Chains A and B, each alone.
Chain A
């Protein structure tokens, strides 16, 4: 008597798709553009209202004005969040534009390298400025400084 071996039923079928090892990177980028876009609408409209509409608008913006705002943790966090979200949102937008119009691989590599360099320099510089800001630098004339420096 011979036995016949039958493959176990309902065995897992071979996986379909996802065989190239690609990630969901572009999906996350797409979601990020929408999520950050909503936040940026609030952050930037608030920023424009404070700096261009309230009081004397652009005429009132000077060192003392910036120092007065950054004396409050609210505006420090506001500006930090705005910097990071806007830079990532904008950099991803420019990346999309480069991918659309730069047809040669070499051109894309050069443009994206420049883009990511600009991103890094701008974000690092901006973050350092917010965290190391000194509202009352020594040796500056008092009439340029916010009132709390002399008080």
Chain B
């Protein structure tokens, strides 16, 4: 089928999934114990005031009405109002998304840039030192809890050696962008180096699992490919080894690798939540954890929805790209 039909189908599926997500998130709030009014009100307040607040929050309506209110607000971007601050959930979420995106993208870049060459080197030098090293590294990498890795990196590189800051985020990409737009190039460059300095440890922490995973996949995928007949045929034909490896084998290796990477993006986002907690990085994950601890359900719902919707969107994109790029699989 054509790209258009494929995309439509996937978008419809995605839409269904999003609806499912919204419903699950609504259900979470319903089964959550505790009275949201308590978050807003002091304990010694009169019952009439309490009733008023509950009515204002719309909590005295029957469930299906509340559900409809909730769901219908979402397409317009209305995710409710925070119980702790009284401001719009969508604002807080919007403000936190750039930080999480920065972290995710940085980690992915770290992973891809390191892992693919490492996997290739490992596969092409099988049973020699580079292979052992890479295999060991990737084995440990997928077995290490990323929050612990973060804490260890802070201890070694930040506290002991003072090479990096311990946490938080001095400046974000949107701010750097602003500087560029106002033609303050020197400050923007300065800002960019500061940004790099602050994001290094979190990106390494988040990226390690991914790096290890991609290394392993690249290695095993490439080993598989190298064993295939067409490779021997190409060599027999006299093609130079490097051409064999890098043009054909690598491309064929990368396709399934990219698929699995796409499948694993959820892991990356989940890892980002924890990494943000360890490094006090002001992204959406921190918002989620803080709002759960504060019992600020609208904020919890809002961040859950945005995280999941983002994930669904990314999956659709990855799916489409993969199918588009892979000459063997059509859009069916």
Are A and B subunits of one complex?
Answer: no
| Residues of A bordering B, CB below 8 Å | none
